[in-house]
Amino acid sequence: MSEKVLMKGNEAFAEAAMRGGCAFYFGYPITPQSEIPEYISRELPKRGGKFLQAESELGAVNMAYGAGASGGVVFISSSSPGISLMQEGMSFLCSAEVPAVILNVSRGGPGVGGIQPGQADYYQVTRGGGNGDYHIPVFAPARIQEAVDLLYEAPAIAEKYRNPVMVLADGMLGQMMEPIILPEQKPFITSEEIAVKKPWAISGSAKGHRSVVKSLRMQPEVLEAHVNHLFEGYAKMEQELVRWKSEGLEDAEIVFVAFGTLARLCNETIELLAEKGIKAGIIRPVSLWPFPYKAFDAIGPKTKVVISAELSMGQMITDVKLAVNGKVPVKLINRTGGSVPTSIEVRDKAMAILEALK
């Protein structure tokens, strides 16, 4: 049954993934997401699932691969430097067509960086990070409720496409509290169901045929055919998984593009600009890959500038420029390293950009 509760982001994320059917979790502690393995270690065994603290993020992602290849519905989580370590496994999961739900509660970088919120992993999560031709759908929630809904849905998406799915939250969302409505618990898949519903899974060949989950393809033509097969799936994902929210584009002078925490902040900024007589709208990509390029078709003739607002030195702006395609100037408003601007700071920078274009 659905229930309304006040929860910390990280605990709500964990609860949502479990309720979405994730029965197996493997994780390694890292700030700002350590509440997730803590919460799941306590709650998942009560529901018949399995928790295992891994020796490293490399261990965690490969445990997830083993459990996913076995037909289990798997959830792993980490934060930026830990996600870097997991990239080897993500490439392998995609190659071997093993589903998994991955949560990145991102922080500032590069290197060990800091522990405050960041969005500087945009390139890493949308462009790969692991080797080879592959994609992982990435969803960026702006509120805890949206993260809950996405993590609840993510296992079904991962299973449908037999590919990992990532939810990219940031440290701000992980650490804050909001009232949320929790969806009802979905049943966990049983061993008997795995043998029937997932004939590809390694579950013991007594099921009637032998299963092999693999990545190696030594002959170039065989590997090429496999990658082409993977990309048929990615083409479907690009059609079916692209998501965004936009507001006030018709008569906007300024159009902000922002995701996650910074999109919330831009909504405040839009109100502050309205007080100054400036109309602004926003495109909020919910799916970062596939990127909602078509959302930009709705930008009207009054728009003088598109501003990519990011907690990085400007990464999403690459996609924003591709989407705008030279029709109007594209500018960046950003902070990085864990710093988050105020809505007034964004307003003042946006007004300065608009003034400079006149």
Partner 1 sequence: MKPVFTVTKGLIPVDTSYCPGCTHGVAHRLIMEVLEERGQLGNTIGVAPIGCSIVAHEFMNVDMCESAHGRAPAVASGIRRVHPNKVVFTYQGDGDLASIGMCEIIHAAARGEKFSTFFINNGIYGMTGGQMAPTTLIGQKATTAQEGRTKEQAGMPIKVCELLAQLDGAVYIERVALDTPAHIRAAKKAVQRAFDVQEKGLGFSLVEFISTCPTNWGLTPPESLKWIKEKVIPYYPLGVYKNPEEV
Per rule CB under 8 A, is residue 203 in the interface with partner 1? Answer: yes
Instruction: Yes or no: say if 133 and 104 are a contact pair by the CB < 8 Å rule.
Output: no
Task: Output the CA torsion sign for 194, 199, 203, 207.
Answer: positive
Going from the C-alpha of 6 to that of each of 35, 38, 144, 329, the distances in angstroms are 15, 18, 10, 42
Q: What is the DSSP string of 119-176?
A: -TTHHHHHH-SSSSS----EE--SSHHHHHHHHHHHHHHHHHHTSEEEEEEEHHHHH-
Residue 64 engages partner 1 in binding (rule: CB under 8 A):
yes
Q: In the window 82-121, what residues touch partner 1 (CB under 8 A)?
A: 88-89, 92, 96
User: Of 216, 232, 239, 275, which one interacts with partner 1 (CB under 8 A)?
Assistant: 216
Nearer to partner 1, 179 or 204 (CB): 204
Closest separation between CB of residue 24 and partner 1, Å? 6
| Residue 70 in the binding site for partner 1 (CB under 8 A) | yes
Q: Does 40 bind partner 1 (CB under 8 A)?
A: no
| CB closer to partner 1 out of 202 and 227 | 202
**Interface pick for partner 1 out of 210, 275, 277, 297 (rule CB under 8 A):** 210
* Alpha carbons 51 and 314: distance in angstroms, whole number: 37
CB of 68 to partner 1, least distance (A): 7
Q: Residue 256: name the closest of 288, 303, 292, 297 by CA.
A: 303
Binding to partner 1 by residue 39, rule CB under 8 A?
Answer: no
| Residue 206 contacts partner 1 per CB under 8 A | yes
Instruction: Pick the binder of partner 1 from 213, 278, 340, 353 (CB under 8 A).
Output: 213
Q: Does 214 bind partner 1 (CB under 8 A)?
A: yes
- CA–CA distance, 16 with 77 (Å, rounded to integer): 13
Task: Give min distance, CB of 312 to partner 1, in A.
Answer: 29
Instruction: Please check whether residue 243 is in contact with residue 287, taking contact to mean a CB–CB distance below 8 angstroms.
Output: yes
212 contributes a contact to partner 1 by CB under 8 A: yes
Q: Which of the residues 138 through 197 are near partner 1 (CB under 8 A)?
A: 191, 194
Which one, 70 or 261, has the nearer CB to partner 1? Answer: 70
Please state the closest distance from residue 180 (CB atom) to partner 1, in A: 29
Q: Please confirm whether the linkage preceding 32 is cis (ω < 30° from 0).
A: yes
- 62 interacts with partner 1 by CB under 8 A: yes
Contacts of 150 (CB under 8 A, 6+ apart): 139, 141, 167
Residue 58 makes contact with partner 1 by CB under 8 A: yes
Residue 9 CB, shortest distance to partner 1, in Å, is 26
Q: Distance between CA 92 and CA 46 in Å, rounded? A: 31
Nearer to partner 1, 52 or 353 (CB): 52
**Cα Rg of the chain (Å, integer):** 21
Question: For partner 1, how many residues bind (rule: CB under 8 A)?
Answer: 40
The correct pick among 41, 215, 318, 343 for binding partner 1 (CB under 8 A) is: 215
DSSP labels, 298-346: G--TT--EEEEEESSSSSTHHHHHHHHTTSS-EEEEE--TT----HHHH
Near partner 1 in 244-303, by CB under 8 A: none
Residue number with CB closer to partner 1 (200 or 293): 200
Beta bridge partners of residue 101, listed in sequence order: 75, 165
Q: b/e for 324-351, b at 16 or more Cβ within 10 A?
A: beeebebbbbbbbbbebbebeebbbbbe
Return residues touching partner 1 (CB under 8 A): 24, 26, 50, 52, 54-56, 58-60, 62-72, 74, 88-89, 92, 96, 191, 194, 202-206, 210-216
